[in-house]
């Protein structure tokens, strides 16, 4: 019988340790089916720093989450043993070493079959998380929610930054290039070549305007057709949301998704072969009224719910 969150009728939500959704810690259970883990690292950012404080902020923002998810008709914490695995201590002064640490920690946390929902931190961490996923599942499909492509080559000569992880992942052969999609991209680019390179890597693009004009149901249908039954990893940069919904991020762009659109698209992934996910780029210093933290906590909650549903189907 899974150990669930602290009972809010007996212990006020604002009291006690701030684990994600007030779940037990990894060291308080015998095993974990799904682990929520933080990576407080933002050395790879190119504009506003502060995402290293994202995991703690999202945990604090998750205190109001409840055990039953009516949108997906699942009680995720009863369907699987979900835990908070704490933070991965990545070196803030050495990007290459930090990437190696995240990779090794992800492999360790998933060695017994557990699935990860990782809270960043900046988007650099997606690369080592994808490396770990590919070592276990082979090249994986990717659905990437972001205002930006994150397939640029280098920044100031650096190959490993928050704007380059998916280019590196394609080059390393850890992504299934027939099943790659960006969702929510928008805003100015450095040049048309950015799109040409991205297309060459195998990515399809659903812009934020496409979501607005086509609607959630059509977008979900296209994404499901693209990934099929492949193992799929979902990476969510919170700047996919419009700054009105998520001001607390490092590189905000106007014209983004609403939090409702993002959550409804994620809920449309029920039944997909989801094998892991991340939510990154939450920077609390810019997050007035905790809007971004609340949005990110609900995104993580729905991702946990999808993984719990998958776990229950396979049990």
Residue 87 annotated as binding?
A: no
Q: Residue 183 forms beta bridges with which residues?
A: 145, 206
Residue 150 annotated as binding?
A: yes
Residue 123 annotated as binding?
A: yes
* CA nearest to 220, candidates 175, 165, 174, 183: 183
Residue 265, Cβ density class (10 Å: 0-12 exposed, 13-18 middle, ≥19 buried): buried
Residue 148 annotated as binding?
A: yes
CA distance 164 to 37: 22
Residue 239 annotated as binding?
A: yes
Secondary structure element (H or E) that encloses residue 59, with its range: helix 54-61
Where do we find the tokens 């790659």? 180
Where do we find the tokens 């682990």? 35
Cα dihedral 31, 281, 270, 132 sign: negative
Residue 144 annotated as binding?
A: no
* Cβ(187)–Cβ(140) below 8 Å: no
Cα→Cα distances 135→20, 37, 106, 129, Å:
27, 19, 11, 10
Number of other residues whose CB lies within 10 A of the CB of residue 283: 28
Phi-psi region of 91 (alpha: psi -120 to 50; beta: other; left: phi over 0): beta
Binding residues for Mn(2+): 123, 146, 148, 150, 237, 239
Binding residues: 123, 146, 148, 150, 237, 239
């Amino acid at each position: 019988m899974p150990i669930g969150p602290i009972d809010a009728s007996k212990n006020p939500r604002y009291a006690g340790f701030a684990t994600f959704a007030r779940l037990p810690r990894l060291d308080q259970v015998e095993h974990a089916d799904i682990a929520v883990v933080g990576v407080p690292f933002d050395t790879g950012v190119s504009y506003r720093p502060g995402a290293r404080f994202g995991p703690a902020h999202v945990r604090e923002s998750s205190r109001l989450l409840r055990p039953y998810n009516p949108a997906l008709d699942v009680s995720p914490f009863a369907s699987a043993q979900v835990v908070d695995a704490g933070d991965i201590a990545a070196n803030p002064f050495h990007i290459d070493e930090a990437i190696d640490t995240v990779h090794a920690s992800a492999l360790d946390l998933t060695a017994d079959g557990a699935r990860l929902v990782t809270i960043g931190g900046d988007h650099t961490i997606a690369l080592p998380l994808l490396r770990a996923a590919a070592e276990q599942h082979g090249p994986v499909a990717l659905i990437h929610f972001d205002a930006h492509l994150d397939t640029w080559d280098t920044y100031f000569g650096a190959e490993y930054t928050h704007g380059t992880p998916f280019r590196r992942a394609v080059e390393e052969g850890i992504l299934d290039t027939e099943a790659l999609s960006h969702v929510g991209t928008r805003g100015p680019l450095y040049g048309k070549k950015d799109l040409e390179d991205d297309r060459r890597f195998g990515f399809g693009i659903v812009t934020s305007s496409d979501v607005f004009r086509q609607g959630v149901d059509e977008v979900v249908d296209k994404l499901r057709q693209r990934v099929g039954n492949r193992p799929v990893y979902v990476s969510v940069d919170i700047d996919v949301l419009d700054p009105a919904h998520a001001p607390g991020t490092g590189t905000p762009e106007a014209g983004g998704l609403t939090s409702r659109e993002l959550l409804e698209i994620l809920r449309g992934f029920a039944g997909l072969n989801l094998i892991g996910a991340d939510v990154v780029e939450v920077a609390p210093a810019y997050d007035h009224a905790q809007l971004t933290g609340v949005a990110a906590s609900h995104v993580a909650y729905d991702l946990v719910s999808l993984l719990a549903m998958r776990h229950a189907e396979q049990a």
